[in-house]
Amino acid sequence: MEQGNPKFISQKGGINSAVQKKYSRKDTGWRLFLKTILARAYPRIIGQQREISWMVFEVVMPMLMVISYVFVYRALNAPEEYIGFVVMGGAMTAFWMNILWSMSSQLYWEKEQGNLALYIMAPNSMMAILLGMALGGMLATAMRAVAVTLLGIWMFDVTFTVSSYAQLFLVFMLAMVALYGMGMMMASAFLMFGREAWHMANLAQEPVFLASGFYFPIKSLPFWVAAGASIIPLTLGMDAMRQLIFPTGFQFGFMTVQREIYILAVLSVVFLTTAKFLLARVEKLAVREGRITESRR
């Protein structure tokens, strides 16, 4: 009887309209894409602030490696630029470790924790989720890289002379875009390999330090080894930045800065396109067959 009351109907209609007006708006397209990025970046940014001890260990441990290489180069009477190369390599190590452990292995870890199914079912894009991880991780990693650089300048009296700020900014941004595109691509690949993802991440850690020239000029390696290592964006990125930051850096350059900028731009497009294709394949496999990694027997 109460439901037939006009007053009740008007109140019910008012409540429904209020609920629809306030809560029923559905974000789609670029709005949903951007909100997903911000939402996924938020826990990583806040998490760094809540665990200050992580920041200490992430700065102290890379500095130990930097200090050891500096002492070796000084014992060998190497050119003073090598000290700056080591400091820059120690700072850029933070980005590679972030890609390896916080991007490439992330989807596998999310699967182990039971969150990956929620990501697949959600209406947002998997690429937006990984971009949010990348954004949050990049901001936290940049703080670590800046801390390592400042400590290196203070401890070893390293001086930087930038020849072109515009080119330096362009090289860094292209290197980061290509590197995080590579991380998204590797995230899908590691997920498809299943339990071997952890071993692959461990396997890729030290060889990349060597092949990419984190602590020495890549030009010191044989040409074809250096050319093969150039598939990793940090290889060309560090080589170009060293040429732009140090007055005699061009003497140790593998290629010209302009050529390395072009290659980094190509790598950015290739890695992002491949990552989008692999993520779409993972989603299709999960929705169509109800599995992601394990083969049916």
DSSP-derived secondary structure for 69-97? HHHHHHHTT--THHHHHHHHHHHHHHHHH
Read out DSSP for 148-160? HHHHHHHHH----
What's 102's DSSP letter? I
Max CA pair span of the chain:
96
Instruction: Confirm whether 119 is domain-assigned.
Output: yes
Chain-centroid distance, C-alpha 11: 52
Instruction: Confirm whether 159 is domain-assigned.
Output: yes
pLDDT at residue 269 above 50? yes
pLDDT at residue 48 above 50? yes
Q: Torsion angle of alpha carbons 135, 138, 142, 143, nearest 10°?
A: 70
State how far the Cα of 222 lies from the Cα of 219, in Å rounded to an integer: 7
Which long-range contacts (C-beta less than 8 Å, at least 24 apart) are formed by 193-196? 193/293, 194/108, 194/293, 194/294, 195/293
Instruction: Confirm whether 24 is domain-assigned.
Output: no
Instruction: Confirm whether 23 is domain-assigned.
Output: no
List the one residue out of 37, 137, 51, 35 whose CA is nearest residue 95: 137
pLDDT at residue 141 above 70? yes
State how far the Cα of 232 lies from the Cα of 238, in Å rounded to an integer: 11
Average per-residue pLDDT for the chain: 78
Mean pLDDT value of segment 152-176: 87
Other Cβ atoms within 10 Å of 22 Cβ, number: 8
Instruction: Confirm whether 90 is domain-assigned.
Output: yes
Cβ 268 vs Cβ 181: under 8 Å: yes
Instruction: Confirm whether 103 is domain-assigned.
Output: yes
Burial of 289 (C-beta count, 10 Å sphere; 0-12/13-18/19+): exposed
Number of domains in the chain: 1
pLDDT at residue 3 above 90? no
Q: The domain containing residue 261 runs over which residues?
A: 32-289
**pLDDT given at position 194:** 63
Q: Torsion angle of alpha carbons 205, 210, 213, 216, nearest 10°?
A: 130
**pLDDT given at position 227:** 87
Q: Encode pLDDT of 224-264 as tens digits.
A: 888 888 888 889 998 999 898 888 778 888 888 899 999 99
Please, which pLDDT band fits residue 16 given cuts at 50, 70 and 90? low
Please state, in angstroms and as integers, the Cα–Cα distance from residue 120 to each residue in 86, 127, 292, following that order: 42, 11, 10
Instruction: Confirm whether 183 is domain-assigned.
Output: yes
Instruction: Confirm whether 148 is domain-assigned.
Output: yes
List the one residue out of 12, 6, 9, 154 whose CA is nearest residue 87: 154
